[in-house]
Amino acid sequence: MNDPALRSIATAVPERALDRAGWLAAADRMSPPDVDRKVLARLAERSGIDSRGCSASVEGPDAFYGPPGEPDPGTAARMGLWSRSARALAERAARAAILDSGLPASAITHVVTASCTGFESPGIDAHLVEALGIPRTVRRVNVGFMGCHAAVNALSVARDAVRSRPGAVALVCCAEISSAHFHRSARLDHLVANTLFADGAAAMVVADGPVPRLAATHSALIPGTAAEMAWTVGDHGFSMTLGAAVPDVLQRTVGPWVDEVLAQHGMRRGAIGGWAVHPGGPRVLDAVGTSLGLPVDALHASRSVLRDHGNMSSATLPFILKRLGDDRVPRPWVGLAFGPGLVGEMVLVT
């Protein structure tokens, strides 16, 4: 049985982008008075982010987040922002991915969506069926609330569908509106999350065809790390808990895990032409690179996506895979992403 091909990848970001100065102005507006503004500046400087998409308005009379003293948006209002923005970005990315695949929308048999920044039903999947003319008999799967690694989970579902059903065509779409969950908080992990996360969407078409091929996906739940990262629903949006030990855990565990997986495919690290590592932040990239013994430039695509777009949660890894393709980086590629659990997810593209 042949491995399905990754026929196309397309991306979309909001029209509104915040450069570093724009973010600092927004952070100053949203942060409580007791937050040291020098801390905000240091976090922005260390983030590795020059620009990122932001669906939420952060200034002017229609600002989604008002100045200190005004009530925070409730979870319902945040879900409204997510719904409007995620649908629009998902539609743009999916429309482009279908066009680039060379296949008609009428050929799609499976739609797999992923998002951890919002929920509703009917959701993004139903919207794509209506907007793009996808058959109403399509099989739909939503990968919800899994975090930054959900693109690999979604690709795994798509790969299995195409392998199990001759002629199947799967549309995968990851859409994240992180700006719906900025927090007016003095907690350091909230300040870090506010600084790193961004908005974006990516869509991929998986079907029989030529290379690049989705050779495999793999998953590993790292024991004893459940307290290091969490993503929970609160009365004022979703709340991220980030432990300071995450980079250390990844530096200790990623290399041995990747070696074990590659060995199952008769490969070693030196055979990998391109690395797509989800940029949870610069420290995460440094830790993974060290664990794998990679030269600094091996993670250029990951760092450049972080610089240009920020951490778009599940949508980020497809952005990096697309950049590897656009830069004609030789395959095989390894994609790695990490999320609450801690969980590592890997995709092997050959």
Q: Hey, which residues are catalytic here?
A: 148
The DSSP code for 282 is: H
Given a contact cutoff of 8 angstroms between Cβ atoms, the answer to whether 320 and 334 are in contact is no
* E strand or H helix that includes residue 132: helix 124-132
The DSSP code for 2 is: P
Distance CA 238, CA 116 (A): 9
| Tokens (6 digits) for 246 | 């995450």
DSSP codes joined into one string, 148-205: TTHHHHHHHHHHHHHHHSTT-EEEEEEEEEGGGG------HHHHHHHHHB-EEEEEEE
Q: How far is CA 99 from CA 93, 110, 159, in A?
A: 10, 16, 20
Burial 199-230 (b: 16+ CB within 10 A, else e): bbbbbbbbbebeebbbbbbbebebeebeebbe
Instruction: Find out whether the peptide bond into 4 is cis, omega within 30 degrees of 0.
Output: no
| Tokens (6 digits) for 173 | 């779409």
- Residues present in the chain in total: 350
Angle, alpha carbons 127-129-130 (nearest 5°) = 65
Distance CA 228, CA 216 (A): 27
**CA dihedral sign of residues 8, 14, 19, 20:** negative
Burial 86-107 (b: 16+ CB within 10 A, else e): bbbbbbbbbbbbbeebebebeb
- Alpha carbon distance, N-terminus to C-terminus of the chain: 15
